[in-house]
Amino acid sequence: MAVLTLALKTLRHRKAAFAGAFVTLLCAAALITACGMLLETGLRGRVAPERYAGAPVVVAGDQYVHQTVHKSNGKTKHKAKPIAERAWIPSSLTQTLRRSAGVREVVAEVTFPVGTSGGQAQGHGWDSAALTPFTLASGRAPKTAAEVVVDARSGARAGTRLRILTPAGAATYRVSGVTRQALPTQHTLFFAPAEARRLAGRPGQVSAIGVFPKTGERPGLAAALRGTRAREYTGEARGAVEFLDAEQARVKLVSLGGALGGTSLLVAILVVAGTFALSIQQRQREIALLRAVAATPKQLRRLLGGEALVTAVAAGAAGSAAGIALGFWLRSRFVALGAVPEHLRLVVSPFPAFAALLATVLAAWTAARLSARRAARVRPVEALGEAALPTARLPWPRLVAGLLATAAAVVLTLVLSTLSTEAASSPVTMLTALMWTVAVSLLGPLPARAAAALLTLPLRVSRTAGHLAAANLRTGSRRLASVVTPLCLLVAMACTILFVQTTMGHAAQREVAAGSRADYVLGPQVPGSAARSLRGRPGVEAVTEVLHTSVRVGLTKYGAQAVTTEGLMRTTDLGVVAGSLRDLGKDSMAVSENAADRLGVSVGDTVRLTLGDGTPATLKVAALYTRGLGYGDLTLSHALVAPHVDNPMGPLYVAAPGLTRAELSALVAAVPSVTVMDHARAVAASAPDAEVNYVAMGLIIAFSAIAVINTLGMSTADRSRELALLRLVGTTRRQVLRVLRLEALAALAIATVLGTGIALLTLTAFATGMTGSPLPYIPPLTYLGVLAPTAALALTATALPARLALRQRPAEAIGGRQ
């Protein structure tokens, strides 16, 4: 208790010194809390049903692919992974369920995408309106194939005509009625039952069946569902089967929250350790005096640990509260980017906040104890001498730890160069950059000392300020290293995060540009009827329909494209190196070289896979190609895939050298929302959106920037006595500021070299594994966009506390430090 009381008094009289540690810990707690909220939402997030709100029980397809793994110890483990598309079920199951015990009524429904002038909507048959339920506010139910009922949100009136784009083509429908209701997050159109089944294009199948039990009875559906791929969903599980994007977003949030949270924690530990090390380094004279008046090493460690605990608890509590707001902001950004659906609500519980508080307290206490270990063990006389003139020797435990961190970074770099999937390489990429930064922070005084020696000559070009700056860098290598570390972290993390995305995007666009033979791209969603009509037009040589989906081989997901084979060689060159695309059909596929290596297959082999809606298929490998980044791991037949995706409409690649852009646009003018697209826009539409990663990892960059401000601010503020002495011996304010500016630029130069080197090592390994080329793509302007704000941040964080310190009279500043 006495030690805690002393720690509180120490903090009260050293508020400025502990402000940096407080801010760092607060930001760390906020970041970990927000990541924990994302992770918990992925694990426990639920979606309330909208379309199926009126059906107590919903029977729908199993949205997972399952696998039983047999372990070496004789035990088995069941694993399941979600599929990409909606799993449909046989319509004959409707009659079987109707005969089940306790069932009063069953209602089958089909769901398919439609496009209107108001945007995207979901189409259904009017016979399934009871699942919500929907009722009519005006007009009547659709009786003919040319009639449609719109929801209350559409703003249309009965009797008006709508041009609607459906998978079967574009057609004009008459509005026969308007519903009284509208769903919160989806537009709804109802067609005549027979017309809806025709437009869905799934004969003999339905997307779901609503089951209404008899009053007071629980329906017994187990016997009816036995031996089928259908499952029973009740309660909030109905929302999961209604909103498949929510379930897919949950999986993304688990991986994103885990990766971001883990990276945040590692960065926080590194930053917090550096902050406390700098704080204790600045208090060496105080610690030496305590040792001189008989304070034991144990008492000093308890004192410094108590200070860390008090600071961490206060900062952790405030940061956890701020982290909740940050979690909501992150979710709003992900919703705006389309990565998370609006109906997936953020889970708010005390667990992320408590975890962040615990992690912050442990990180602060451990960092303080480790940083204080050597300072507390030194003898009193040695402590006073070292406080007056800090030793240049690196402690051997720190040297050993630095060498081990370097070895670990080398191993991670080698491992990263062998990883060829984004799921495996993404976490290792961040960990590799962090491990190199840890090595730099541990061995920092060594490169700082060497760099200071190299910078002595150019600095001395400025006679007064340069001479003083060079002298300070030579004698203050430990202080220089403490400043270089956060700057190095900022440059390394920013470059790694930004240029991982540019490297992948550039490689994909380069492959698409090299493989594109089409003259035009039509999109974004073109029905098959438009493609068939174009093939017969004069001047059109070939039309390739393209769909993008994902399939699973075992439990592993592979990105796939489906293409029509007629005229494919005229529109697309996949870079075939074995086999032929002429053999591509409903029973075969082409495989990228990367995927073929992972699957261990070659031309002529067969692969058992699961299509996007859970349908199993066994396909023969017809060809191997090189351009997998641009065109996907697998290329399948359009005829095989189209009946197994939610939206069978996709872009068209058109070879029509005899037609102008205006002439081609006129040919598809009758199809709503279809335009002639640029090739680059088509590539961007089919590529994963990197903005989600930028938003998520941008928080790490922001945290690193805060660490830079804290470290530079603490380092400069601690030198008020030194600056006052310079003023007393005749140095002007302008000269003092110039000295500090030169020192900051020197630290920035060292950090830029080290941070860029770390990023290059990491990016080279990443590019080698993911693209097959050791050359990452680093846009010069983007790189300058990293360095310029970093330089401005470093100079500002140095100048502001220096100007505040120089406002004091020199005698007062020296007296206040005694």
Question: 463 and 314, same structural domain?
Answer: no
Q: Is the pLDDT of residue 221 over 50?
A: yes
Structural domain including 651 reads 528-670
Cα–Cα distance measured from residue 757 to residue 547, given in angstroms and rounded to the nearest whole number: 41
Residue 384 pLDDT more than 60?
no
> Is 517 part of any domain?
no
Which residues are CB-neighbours of 752 under 8 A, at least 6 positions away?
487, 491, 787, 790
Q: What is the DSSP letter of 659?
A: S
Q: Is the pLDDT of residue 206 over 90?
A: yes
CA distances from 87 to 83, 230, 546 (A): 8, 9, 21
Give Cα separations from 8 to 30, 298, 305, 306 (angstroms). Answer: 24, 18, 12, 8
pLDDT at 401 over 70: yes
In a domain, 694, yes or no: yes
As a whole number, mean pLDDT of residues 787-798 equals: 88
Checking if the pLDDT of 93 tops 80, the result is yes
Rounded to the nearest 5 degrees, what angle is found at the Cα of 584, between the Cα atoms of 603 and 508?
80
Strand duo 57-61 + 208-213: pairing:
antiparallel
pLDDT recorded at residue 269: 77
- Give the per-residue pLDDT at 808: 66
pLDDT digits (tens, 9 = 90+) for 115-160: 887 788 999 999 999 999 999 999 999 999 999 999 998 888 999 9
Q: Which of 235, 254, 285 is the last residue of a domain?
A: 235
Instruction: Give Cα 316 to chain centroid, integer Å.
Output: 25
Nearest to 503, CA basis, from 687, 340, 635: 687
Give the pLDDT confidence of 627-678 residue by residue, as tens digits. Answer: 998 899 999 999 999 999 999 999 999 999 888 888 888 888 878 778 887 6
**Residues 72 and 35 both lie in one domain:** no
- Residue 106 has a pLDDT of 95
357-378, pLDDT tens digit by residue? 998 888 888 777 776 666 556 5
Total domains, the chain: 4
Specify whether the CB–CB gap between 494 and 785 falls below 8 A.
no
3-state SS class at 294: coil
Separation between Cα atoms, residue 234 and residue 232, nearest integer Å: 7
Residue 618 lies in a domain: yes
> What number is the average pLDDT over the span 298-302?
72
The yes-or-no verdict on residue 215 having pLDDT over 60 is: yes
Q: Would you say residue 519 lies in a domain?
A: no
Residue 681 — pLDDT band, cuts 50, 70, 90?
very low
Whether 206 and 354 map to the same domain: the answer is no
Residue 778 pLDDT > 90, yes or no? yes
The verdict on 219 and 84 lying in the same domain is yes
Of 132-146, 192-206, 269-283, which gets the smallest average pLDDT?
269-283
Same domain? For 335 and 287 the reply is yes
Residue 386 belongs to a domain:
no
479 pLDDT band, cuts 50/70/90, is confident
- Other beta carbons within 10 angstroms of residue 685's beta carbon come to 15
Q: Are 613 and 480 part of one and the same domain? A: no
Single out the residue in 381, 416, 450 at which a domain terminates.
381
Note the pLDDT of residue 810: 60
User: Smallest Cα–Cα separation from 496: which of 256, 794, 263?
Assistant: 263
Same domain, 230 and 247: no
pLDDT in tens, 285-294: 666 666 666 6
pLDDT band at 334 (very low <50, low <70, confident <90, very high): confident
Specify the pLDDT at position 718.
Answer: 67
Whether residue 385 is predicted with pLDDT greater than 80 in this model: the reply is: no
Q: Is residue 677 part of a domain?
A: no
- Let me know if residue 546 belongs to a domain: yes
Distance between CA atoms of 362 and 28, rounded to whole angstroms?
12
CA separation for the pair 274, 142 (Å, rounded): 70
Give dist(CA 302, CA 7) in Å, integer.
Answer: 9
Residues 262 and 115 in one domain: no
DSSP bridge pairs for 9: none
Domain boundary among 235, 257, 280: 235
One domain for residues 180 and 253: no
Across the chain, mean pLDDT equals 84
Interval 780-800 mean pLDDT? 88
pLDDT at 37 over 80: yes
Give me the pLDDT at residue 2, please. Answer: 52
Distance (Å, whole) CA 92 – CA 359: 55
pLDDT greater than 90 at residue 304: no
Cα–Cα dist 810/356, whole Å: 43
Asked if residue 678 is part of any domain, the answer here is no
Average of pLDDT values for 604-622?
95
Note the pTM of the prediction, 2 decimals: 0.82
pLDDT of 397 reads 76
Evaluate if residue 454 carries a pLDDT over 80.
no
- Residue 223: exposure state from Cβ atoms within 10 A (0-12, 13-18, ≥19): exposed
Pair (593, 480) in one structural domain: no
Share of the chain above pLDDT 70, in %: 87
Q: Taking 80 as the threshold, does the pLDDT of residue 387 lie above it?
A: no
| pLDDT mean over 447-461 | 72
Beta strands in 479-565 (DSSP E): 520-526, 542-553, 556-563
- Predicted confidence band of residue 812 (pLDDT cuts 50, 70, 90): low
Q: Is the CB of residue 176 less than 8 Å from the CB of residue 139?
A: yes
For residue range 524-543, list pLDDT tens digits in order: 889 988 888 888 888 899 99
Q: Do residues 137 and 223 share a domain?
A: yes
Per-residue pLDDT at 75: 76
Same domain, 465 and 492: yes
pLDDT single digits (tens) 555-567? 999 999 999 998 8
